[in-house]
Structure 1
Amino acid sequence: MAAGDLGPADGPALRVIGRARTRWGPDDCPKNIGRARERGAPATLEIDPAFAPALRGLSVGQPVIVLYWMDRARRDLLVQAPRHVDGPRGSFALRSPNRPNTISQSTVRITALDTDTGRVEVDALDCYDGTPLIDIKPWLPSIDLPPGETG
């Protein structure tokens, strides 16, 4: 497996494009992006210089979907019983980072952008400092809103 890849050598691999820089650690990380915003903690996406050209076309104020690998989450929980719901639910019915593939996502807004250095500041992020980033995608209401909803 190449450096920066996540996954087994004989199966799908994800390339780490950078790291999230947040103020969160295991003892104080918010449970979701809404709580991260409430706590007023912007975050920085440090993109590896090799991938900085991929930031071209993004702009300050734009909403983006950030995908990240919750590298410290459990991968063996298929059914969970979180406190905020009544009864156990399957991992696919929850936003928990504990899942077969620990991919998480948040829709955030770009607050500052430096495409030369690969630094993208966003309004918030709900992951530990140093969490591997695996993708950034533009959020587009024409694509990302469910059918029949208006934005």
Structure 2
Amino acid sequence: MQIRRAVDKDIPRLHELLGQVLQIHAEIRPDIFISGTTKYTDEELREMIRNDAKPIYVATDEQGMCEGYAFCQLREQPFSNNMVPFRSLFIDDLCVDERMRGQHVGESLFAFVKEEAKRLGCYEVTLNVWEGNTSAEKFYEKMGMKTKERQMEYILA
């Protein structure tokens, strides 16, 4: 397995994998996510691929087939005047093809993202997990992540 920055030829496969993640989210929160839609257009993905502040890393097999990805965003802190300034690498989305789960692709991607964060001078790696996505929570806890904050909601509908 090789992990590298995404390139334009990865876009069709990225759409397939984004669809797998969307389906998981739509099953957990059908009130928010629309099954069968796409998160990004081809043009948006092309722009992200070229944007060093929003790197997309892909794990590929020997033939170059993308088996997983990590969409990331470099973020500069603080959110307010009372916080120490620092840089973080936010994982906006991490997916491993459902056929490849359990084969350490996610662990390899996460390890790569941590190393990239260090190389980029980041203080931390962060992400959000939807309530009800217990397999993702368990995976990230296994990777050493801890809950930093909780976001709560009150649905008015």
Q: Which has the higher contact order (CA 8 A, sep 6+)?
A: 1
Higher strand share: 1
TM-score range, shorter chain: under 0.3
Q: TM-score, structure 2 length as denominator?
A: 0.23
Higher helix share: 2
Q: TM-score, structure 1 length as denominator?
A: 0.24
